[in-house]
Amino acid sequence: EMIGLGVAIDYMQQFSWKKIKKYEIDLFAYALKKLIDQVQIIGPADIDKQCGILSFVIDGIHAHDVAEIFSRHQVAVRAGHHCAMPLMTQLNISGTVRLSFGLYNSIEDIDRVIEVIKETKKIFIYYG
């Protein structure tokens, strides 16, 4: 574990935090533009209030079901309350699907997310 942590720290030190934040926000902006008509975004759409994390729901489909389809397509997402159950209750939703962007992500990853969202809708909305 210590060796892995050391390698990760060495890797991260070749970038400035400012560049990392800009890259993550650029990915977020691209994802927001592509997802805005596909899903219901939960949270601020203002890019200046973001940190590279985007949560969403697809009407009529439970977040865990969405995450299962993503998993079957080998796309990693998180689903659930995200330690914010009072917020989910206030929003009257059972949970969200969360995308997290980092240096290891690309525009192609986001395009893949869009493909999987379309596939998920086909399975649950058109055939469900």
Q: Give 128's DSSP letter.
A: -
Helix (H, G, I), strand (E, B) or coil at 97: strand
Q: Can you give the pTM of this predicted structure?
A: 0.85
Q: How far apart are CA 56 and CA 122, in angstroms?
A: 17
When pLDDT is cut at 50, 70 and 90, the band that residue 44 belongs to is confident
Q: Which is more confident, 53 or 67?
A: 67
The rounded mean pLDDT for the chain is: 91
User: Is the pLDDT assigned to residue 128 strictly greater than 70?
Assistant: no
Query: Are 55 and 82 spatial neighbours (Cβ–Cβ below 8 Å)?
Result: yes
Task: Calculate what percentage of the chain has a pLDDT beyond 70.
Answer: 98
- Asked if 51 is an active-site residue, the reply is no
Residue ranges of the alpha helices (H) in the chain?
A: 2-12, 17-35, 63-72, 85-91, 107-121
What span, in angstroms and rounded, lies between the C-alpha atoms of 90 and 107? Answer: 33
Q: With contact defined as beta carbons under 8 Å apart, do 27 and 35 qualify?
A: no
Which member of 1, 3, 83, 90 is catalytic? 83
